[in-house]
Amino acid sequence: MSLTSHDVIDFLRDALNVDDPIDVESALFSNGLLDSVAMLNLIGFVEEKARIEVRAGDVTLENFDTPQRIEAYVETRR
Predicted pLDDT at 1:
66
CA-based end-to-end distance of the chain: 10
> Taking the domains of the chain in order of start, what are their residue ranges?
5-76
Q: Average pLDDT for consecutive 10-residue bins of the chain (78 residues)?
A: 93 89 94 91 97 96 97 94
pTM beyond 0.75: the answer is yes
Predicted pLDDT at 73:
98
Identity of residue 22:
I
CB 59 within 8 A of CB 39: yes
CATH topology of domain 5-76: 1.10.1200
Angle ∠(52,55,59) on CA atoms, nearest 5: 110
